[in-house]
Amino acid sequence: MTMEDTAMKQAHTFGWLQFFHATALCVLAAPALAAPRNDVNLINLSPPSGTLPGVRNSGEMGPVNSVEATINYRLQSTPQGFITISGEPPTTYPITMSPLPPTHFSNGRGEVRVRFSWLCNDRSPPSNPLPAIAYRLQGADAAGRFTGTLVQKTQAVNYTFTCRPPSPIKRPSDAALTTPGESPMQRLNPQAQGALRPDLVPILTRPMTGTVIVRNIGASPAPASTLYVNCYTRDARPINGCPTTIFPLVDDIYRRYVLIEIPSLAPGAEYVVNLRPWPSAWPVGDYNFIAQADHYPGRVSESDEFNDRTSYLVVR
């Protein structure tokens, strides 16, 4: 190799060294990719899948909810936060979660557990598949007031929730009479006599339009009763979204309600209540509406005292 070739080779090598050095300096000078300030990740579902029982009403929420979700969070932009879960989309898949109001946690990192299940009502079919859930990291200020959704993610799931249909009411046949003047009620044992009582159930229209129905599905006339309709925000923010013209009474800072007198109803009859004026636009939030027929215990002796509540979630 001549001296000229050696010089050219050294120059070529030096050029590559300069290139690598400059590249390294660029990499070192480049700002590191910042981790997101807020994040949320579903790390476990227990059970992971399967066929599970739904819950009949909001009074059964809590440990009865069939699925427990474990969720990791990172919260930096607000002093407090909490997690909410709903079906995806919520109007098609009515999911209830607990605890309610949700547990608030402070700024930082951590792990929370939230339970959820299918919320059955009088129109729920016996089998209800749930293909996906949406889980959200919600922000709150130092006083615990909701400030907005920070992160929302969707997770495919494979659950089927079962709902128990209402028990059919059987009336005694006149053919059962064997003694002149004896009534069918006299021939029935106390349990059968209980089946002949009235049974009031509430119905919320879907989508929610302010119409609530109270129906007597029992076998006897129902005396006059009181209907309770409640509006509260599922994300635990104050109740400024629930209209005071419709829900004038207050349970606490999260719940407003109205009481409506329902006249006596014959078996199979229903009474329709229209809550007016129903707003065409609502502030952003998750609103839960609960209707309870025969609100005051003991006023109506029913054949089933556990089917008088129903609820419906509306996400705006």
Burial class from Cβ neighbours inside 10 Å (0-12, 13-18, 19+) for residue 149 reads: middle
Grade residue 66 by pLDDT with cuts at 50, 70 and 90. confident
Q: Report pLDDT for 105.
A: 92
Q: What pLDDT, in 10s, does the model give residues 3-17?
A: 555 545 554 554 544
**Residue extents of the structural domains in the chain:** 39-162, 195-315
The second-level CATH assignment, the architecture, of 39-162 is Sandwich (2.60)
State what percent of residues in the chain have pLDDT above 70.
69
Question: What does the alpha-carbon distance between residue 165 and residue 216 come to, in Å, rounded to a whole number?
Answer: 16
3 state DSSP class of 280:
coil
Q: What pLDDT, in 10s, does the model give residues 100-115?
A: 667 889 999 999 998 8
> Is residue 132 predicted with pLDDT exceeding 50?
yes
> Is residue 237 predicted with pLDDT exceeding 90?
no
More confidently predicted of 219 and 44: 44
Residue identified by tokens 């739904």 is 54
Q: What pLDDT, in 10s, does the model give residues 17-41?
A: 454 455 544 544 545 555 578 999 9
3 state DSSP class of 241:
helix
Strand 211-216 relative to strand 270-274, pairing: antiparallel
195-315: CATH topology? Immunoglobulin-like (2.60.40)
* Intrachain domains 39-162 and 195-315 with the same fold: yes
Cβ(68)–Cβ(114) below 8 Å: yes
3 state DSSP class of 100:
coil
Grade residue 179 by pLDDT with cuts at 50, 70 and 90. very low
Amino acid at 305: E
Q: Report pLDDT for 139.
A: 87
Cβ(214)–Cβ(200) below 8 Å: yes
Which two three-digit tokens encode residue 292?
């309870």
More confidently predicted of 288 and 44: 44
More confidently predicted of 99 and 239: 99
Q: What pLDDT, in 10s, does the model give residues 76-89?
A: 999 999 898 888 77
